[in-house]
Chains A and B, each alone.
Chain A
Amino acid sequence: MSKLHIETTINGEPAEYLCDPHETLLSALRNAVGLTGTKEGCATGDCGACSILVDGRLVPACLVLAPEAQGRRVTTIEGLSRGDALHPLQQKFLEHAALQCGICTPGFIVAAKALLDAKPDPSEEEARYWLAGNLCRCTGYDKIVRAVLDAASEMKGSAA
C-alpha cells in the first residue's frame, strides 16, 4: 500500500506530508508533520480536543481524512501566537486560570478563535453553546467562559 503525497498550507506556511489514504488529518498532523498540540481525546468527534480550522472553518481533525487537506489552509494551536506574542485568547486563559491539566486547552483556544472570528461580541450563552463541543473535566467551564468573554472585549477594544 503506497502513501499519498499531500501538499497543503499549515499555519500560513507551505507544508507537505505522506499519509495513508484512510488516515485522519489528526494523525497526519501529530505524526507525519510533528505538530502534537492538537490532541486526541475520543476519535469520534465528541470532545473537541482535536479542534482545528480548515479554510477558516472549525472542524474536528479526527473526522477529517488526511488527504482532504490537499490545497487547503489548515490552522492549528501552534499557529495562534505570532512570534513570541501570545494571542489574546492564550493570554486571557492564563490570566483567568482557565486551564488546570491543560489537555483541552488547545482545542478550546482554537474553537474560541473561530467563535470570535464569527461573532466578535458573543454573549455568555452564545459562547457556551458555541463551545459545547469542547469537553473540559477539570474547570467546570466557568473560568474558560470568562477568559473567552474577556478576550472578546479586549480584541474589540483594540480593533476599534
Chain B
Amino acid sequence: MVAIRYEAPRSVSEAVRLMAADPGALVLAGGTDLLVQFRAGVRQPSAFVDVKRIPELMSIAIDAQGLRLGAAAPAAVIGEHAELRRLWPGLAESVRLIGSTQIQGRGSVGGNLCNGSPAADTTCALIVNRAQCVVAGPGGERTVPVEEFCTGPGRTVLQPGELLVAIRVPRPAARTADAYLRLIPRTEMDIAVAGAGASVTLDAAGVCTAARVAIGAVAPTALRVPEAEQALVGSPLDEASLKRAADAAAAAARPIDDKRGTAAYRRTVAGVLTRRAAAIAAARARGSDL
C-alpha cells in the first residue's frame, strides 16, 4: 500500500519545491473538491500539499490598484470582507453562493478555479471583472487572464510544479458594477445548472461604455460572450439591449445534457440569467458611488 504524505509548507518557494519534486503531489486548499475526488478514487495523490499555512495564499488585500486575493482564502472570509463586497458585489455574490456555510468555511476561489469545473460559480464573476491569475512555479511567477486559465473540464494551464497563488482583480472604474446569478433547482447546495455574470460601466448620461459578459455551466469552460458585450455597449441598458445580450448569450452557449439539466434548458436559462444579471449590474452602476 503506497503511503500518502501530508506536507504543510510555510512559503511559496517551499511549496513550489515540493510540487516540482513530486509530480504526483496535489495542492490541498479547502479540500472540498479534492477530498471528495480522493474518496471516490478519482484522484490518487502521492502527497497532499496543504498551502493554508502560506500567508500569501490566505491573505486578502485591497489597494489603489485593486484586489489581491490569496488563492486558498476560504469563501466565508471573502464573503465577510466589507470593502470587497462594496467594490465587487457580483464577485462577492458568486463566492457566497459556493456550497453551504460549511463548504464556505473551507472552499476557496483558487480551488474552484483549479478544479476546472465548467459550472464553478466564481469563474464567470472573475472573468467579467477582468481578473488575472498569479501562478508560481520553478520558472518563477507568471500571470494568466482568468478566462484562459481553465482549458476544459478538470483541466487548467498549470504546468508540473506550478501552483495558483493569488487572483488579482483591478479596481473598478467609476460607475462600474457587476452581478452574478446562477440557476439551481433548490435554494442552496446545488451545482449551477447555468450561470451568468455581467459587469457594466456607464457614462454620466447612463449609456454603457464598457461591458463584460460570461456564462457558466453551458460549455467545457466558462465562456466570455463578446457578442453579448457588444449588444450592451453604446446602449442605455434598456429592455431591448438587454434582450439582445440575452439572445447572444443563449446562442453562444454550447451546453450538454447531463444529470443536472438538458442542453436546451441550459441554453434558454443562460439567456434569461444574462438578461437579469446585466439588469442588476446596470442598477448597481446607476446607483454606484464609485
Contacts and interface: CB of A to CB of B under 8 A. Distances in A.
Interface in A8-66: 20-22, 24, 43-46, 48, 51, 54, 57-60, 62-65
Give the dominant DSSP class at A's interface. mixed
Nearest to A135: B189
Given A22-B6, A59-B105, A133-B101, A1 B1 contact: yes
B6 A4 contact: yes
Given A21-B5, A57-B76, A68-B50, A132 B32 contact: no
Interface in A63-116: 63-65, 67-68, 70, 111, 114-115
Given A22-B6, A133-B188, A65 B100 contact: no
A133 B6 contact: no
B100 A133 contact: yes
Interface in A121-160: 129-134
Contacts of A22: 4, 6, 38, 48
B30 interface: yes
Interface residues of B, number: 29
A133 B102 contact: yes
Most chain B CB within a 10 A radius of its CB, from A21, A59, A62, A134: A59
B230 to A, nearest CB: 37
A45 B36 contact: yes
A40 to B, nearest CB: 11
Contact of B102 (A70, A111, A129): A111
A65 B50 contact: yes
Kindly state the interface size class of chain A when it binds its partner: 20 to 34
Interface string B1-33: 101111010000000000000000000101110
Given A45-B32, A68-B52, A60 B188 contact: no
Interface of B: 1, 3-6, 8, 28, 30-32, 35-36, 38-39, 48, 50, 52, 74, 76, 99-103, 105-106, 187-189
Given A22-B6, A22-B38, A45-B36, 9 more contacts: A43-B39, A45-B103, A46-B100, A64-B31, A65-B31, A65-B35, A67-B50, A111-B101, A132-B187
Interface of A: 1, 4, 20-22, 24, 43-46, 48, 51, 54, 57-60, 62-65, 67-68, 70, 111, 114-115, 129-134
